[in-house]
A and B are shown apart, each in its own frame.
Chain A
Amino acid sequence: MGQFVTEIKSGGGIAVDDTIQVKGYETKAGSRILEGFRPLFSAEAVERLERAGYDIAGKSAVGEFGLDLLGEFAYGAETCDTLRGAAAELVAAGTVKGALCVDLNGTPRRAAALSGVDFLKPTYGTVSRYGVIPCACSGEQIGVAAKTAGGVRELLRVVAGHDPKDGTSLPAETYDYHDGKAAPGMRVGIVKELYGAASDEQKARVTACAERLRGMGVAVDEIALPLADAARTAWNLCLCAETCNNVSRYDGVKFGYRSPDYRNIDELYVNSRTEGLNFLTKFVILYGSDVLSKGRYFTCYDKALKVRRLVAEQVKALFKDYDALLCPACSETEYRPYDIKDAFMTVFAESLFTAVPNLTGIPAMVSGGVQFMADALRDSDLLNLAEALEGGNAS
């Protein structure tokens, strides 16, 4: 078992990422700045699981605020040789039945692809974000990891549905997730810009998946998404700008870590944040602050929001002809620890494969080591595709 588990009290239940509040558990979002913070309430998704009779097994560690590649910079985590993500490892090992994970910049999708489990980042707004430690609210989303598509579907049906406590929650009270198209007869497009950027091993996974899909009556073509690279830049600009604002609340006064070394309130703020946040988060804050500043706002942040619309329109147009897009979830099949000074650009590079769903709110599912994307609210189609590939019922 990997090094990233923070606190698993019982096996067989549901692990919850450390960026999601669970009453009674320390919830530090992988950061020293929230060390010792025990929330007064659980996230809505957690409460729904508990009301449905599921046990919360414990917290699965994440990198600070979920900003890193695979949880490698979780505060207090031991080092390991291979990075695979805590929640995905717990699911793969059978220690837990499933996991709730926040998809901020693709981390749970990468982890699922590397650990051989399924993960669905549902359509934005279908699962309440109430109780999530926020970073980039406009695109982060709680998703579900499980060993099979059937397991994802089971848990997703419990946690999805309107929550009046979340202002971005969509109005549907429940979602069926059994109402998708049958896999045979679907049209799937391989995104050439993402396929071409992956390693030979990842390309082989996608190619093998495409062959299996063709064998079950799915039409598979290569398609172009010319704005894929722009989507990555736009999402990372939005992420940094929003995170900069959201983590400004951590100042050593109200909760979490407080530096013991200060002579006045300015030193209290500066020392607590300097000692409590890691270099990756500091860079995200500084860059996010810069792109929101006078003189940079219109050329950076405003531009990113306009590109976001263009990407959404380009993706929407593809879904007129295709039911799903197929691509790798990450460039490699194995990741090793690296220095935090390289973290931002490492994550930026890998977010090429994951940024479009975060930027546009569409669902994305990793199964069998590859990633599928579908139009908004077509999550069921992704579950059907994954289930068909797993040899289960295709509709």
Chain B
Amino acid sequence: MTSSNWQFDTEKSLVESHGLKLEEFEKIVEGLGREPNLTELGIFSAMWNEHCSYKSSKYWLKKLPTSGERVIQGPGENAGVIDIDDGDVAVFKMESHNHPSFLEPYQGAATGVGGILRDVFTMGARPVANMNALRFGDPNHPKTKHLVSGVVGGIGGYGNCIGIPTVGGEVNFHPSYNGNILVNAMTVGIAKKDKIFYSAAAGIGNPVVYVGSKTGRDGIHGATMASAEFDDDSEEKKPTVQVGDPFTEKLLLEACLELMKEDAIIAIQDMGAAGLTSSSIEMASKGNVGIDINLSKVPMRAANMTAYELMLSESQERMLMVIQPKKEELARSIFKKWDLEFEIIGEVTDTKKLILHMDGEEQASIPINILVEDAPEYQRDYIVNDPSPLINFESKDFEDKDILSDLLKMMSHPNLCSRKWIWEQYDHMVMADTVVRPGSDAAVVRVHGTNKGIAISTDCSPTYCRHNPYEGGKHAVVETWRNIVASGAEPIAITDCMNFGNPEKPEIMGQFVECIRGMGDACSKLNYPVISGNVSLYNETNGEGIYPTPAIGGVGLIRDLSNTMTISLKNEGNVLCLIGENNNHLGNSHYLSIIQNREDGGTPSINLDDELKNGKFILDCVAKKLLKSVHDVGEGGVLVAIAEMCISGMQGIKIDITKDFLHGFFFGEDQARYLVEISKNKLEQIEVDASKSGVKIERIGEIGGTSISINSIGEIELSSLIDHHTKWFNEF
């Protein structure tokens, strides 16, 4: 359809302002057999935007492995579910709140946390841990500090108040996020295997119940806004950002969990993006039924709200449920106890339509299948560019004597410096089950009342993805896997948050396709399936897209918490060893970017067989209680990892090695590597075991003293290292 032969009564500009393509409008008319009214147009706009419909990504997401022996619920529900033994399950998901957080960082981030928490407790799980993955622009960009302060404040403000610990996360800075920051929030909850709640409506005539906060005019078109690029006038979109009320969410959490103990709820769905529209339609679609709603019954915060506004509001802290008719009074009394709204607003029908009434008049009547199954799906054109070429750096390219001053510069850089300033603003200990606090490879939270724990890690290296989306996609998955292994846990499954630019550009779509391919290969090889996730596209401002950022949240299980590992060096006299092969890969490393201001040299490639072999070796050693501390070698390479272990454990080290290419060894970012602390009397046993398993192990140095010293180079006092490491955020 071209603009010249527009043949409908509906104004073309109205269609466009709803983010719908003209051919998509034609499809609506075809499905309905008539033109939609304004309320219906709003509903289609909300359901068919990228954020809710996954229309550009669905085809590719289906290629990811999503099943496994511990997977109870894969993608498609509010959150994924894995079996963690003894009748317990872990429920988790990660979700983006990028666009709103850029417009209004505190509320954007806060409601991001609120939304993901609801996704998890909707499933019947008590949330036990929050994590996040954050990307900001250039540290020196005038907006960066404001955005960091706002986002950290918002995450803390919401999580602290509701009383769920924020146990970790990751933060990166890169100019590609100057106009589009990324705020990805993850929640993990614990439930009983036989008490999981789903969203499929059932039972013709059963009541549809609205609970939680009243509906106001906030957040109207939030999901549509999140499916568009920004430009210079984006500030005007601020009213589409919702306002969070963590206190009400706490009440909603307790009321829902209390009601879930009764046999009352048939189906439950949180009102997140696209509010009442997407929640009611999803429940009806999953149950293959219809839903009638009387909008006059919806609790309203503002006077004279229209059907259009009620259906598109993204007011927070609301839920939709289908309940057993006989349990209505019981349910009402629980919500009343918690001072929350409880209103029967409709019923389940056999029409397979969403029918809305208000003030006695029909406001909308749409067959559910047109909205869901017939939603547009695109196989967008894509181009896969060649990965950035590899550069083989050599010793002669570097002056080896500067290694310690280079280390200081790296440890003080915003991308590698201490995040203590951030995590001290998050209550990371409430619920009294936090075993490993922020700052280690993975956070570990005890399953309440047991001696087992879950390990959680979020990660992604966008620079790797930008220069080689396939290896970058693999890396994001593998990095979380390795972090979980390093904490002594068996990695089980992941959630993903796919943050990309405009998918209508073939090169962006190519990045998406390649990242998915890399992720899929890593997940398959490591038996580490994707069980939930979220896609955020159109992260562009004035035509400039962000770096491809497939953020991954991984979860693992520690059966016996006495096997929990941290990165903190423990005892003087122990020996630090490197596990894994070193190939001096300096391409696209933090060393090049921080010290030489270069972004080239190519993404390191990942050998998944080596990952599996080395990871298994670490877990075997942990089970035999042979290791004192473990740290995955990631961003910044071996020397940065050593420095982190020293700072965390307040122990020095005497490094004694002989290498031809010291910069390559200390700062190269080769994969599948770990640093392990071993007591001297266990050293030979481990070396024999390693050689039997075909795992490379190398002694690096002996723990002790108050400095990091390197033979033939010099030493640096820990106190000086710590000053540099904490300086940037302390001066915030």
**Is this pair of chains taken from one and the same complex?**
no
